[in-house]
Amino acid sequence: MADQKSGLPIFYRFYDGNVPDVSTIRHTIADQALLNMKNVVLVADKGYNSVKNINDCLINKVEFIFNVRLGTKGCLARELIDEHRKKFAGLNSGDPYIRKNIATAKVNWKYDPRPVDGKPASNTASAELYYHMFYDPVIYQEAANKLTESLLTIKKKLLEEEALTEQEEELKEKFFRNDKEKGLIIVNRRVDEYLKYKGFRVLVTDSEKDPVKAWTAYADRWRVEDAFATLKDRLGCNRIRCSDNKALQGKTFVQFIAT
């Protein structure tokens, strides 16, 4: 945990091995309750925006800003992007400070305030969540250019009967099909589906109504990433090289102070 103004780490916790994201969030919530810290917002990257994590934050009154993973078909964030596509198409939705096209949707989120054994019994409570959507046409175009270059390279290799790499074979299976008359062709529909959500980022929050402030808070989390980089790269924390738990605790503490 880092102070947003100074960027200095003020609190840490280490875990043995890989810990599921739900457990990590719950430990963080418990730590915050124990320390009784005020004005704390939990900012997390993709992979932490699960329903369980959102519900845990709402139940424990922990404010949050989560980056939503857009890779899942049928997810709410995708539906909201589709509903607001016309707004993203115009320049008037662009913000001059963060240089992104912006749209916000307010969602009435239902959850169980007293789940039994971690499982909801009834969604009797509700909260207003803000889904802030950001679109960067430059990122979209970069993704489109990269895919186009790869597909045309594959097409050239096939015409010249050159061997494809493993990655190119995967792209061939995904974006090409055999046509009776034309032979192997690129399926434009599959390309459009692949690029449909490129350039988009969605932040879901229970507390920050202003999309630019939510974006800024998410961008500031890179200060925490910089602290991790110091631990991993400069202090060699990628491999702690400790033979017992006591040594691990001691070395981690010293490296935290150094950071």
Beta strand 176-179 pairing with 183-186: antiparallel
Q: Which neighbouring-strand residues pair with 127?
A: 109
Tell me what the mean pLDDT of segment 190-205 comes to. 95
Model confidence pLDDT, tens digit, residues 19-50 = 555 566 677 777 766 676 677 788 888 877 88
Percent of the chain with pLDDT over 90: 45
Domain ranges within the chain, ordered by starting residue? 21-132+201-258, 140-195
Model confidence pLDDT, tens digit, residues 135-161 = 999 999 999 999 999 999 999 999 999
Mean per-residue pLDDT of the chain: 84
CA dihedral 75, 77, 78, 83 (to 10 degrees): 130
The answer to whether the Cα torsion of 209, 213, 217, 222 is positive or negative is: positive
The helix (H) or strand (E) run that includes residue 224 is helix 222-229
Asked if residues 69 and 202 have their Cβ atoms less than 8 Å apart, the reply is no
**pTM: predicted TM-score of the whole model, two decimal places:** 0.78
The number of beta carbons lying within 10 Å of the beta carbon of residue 201 is 19
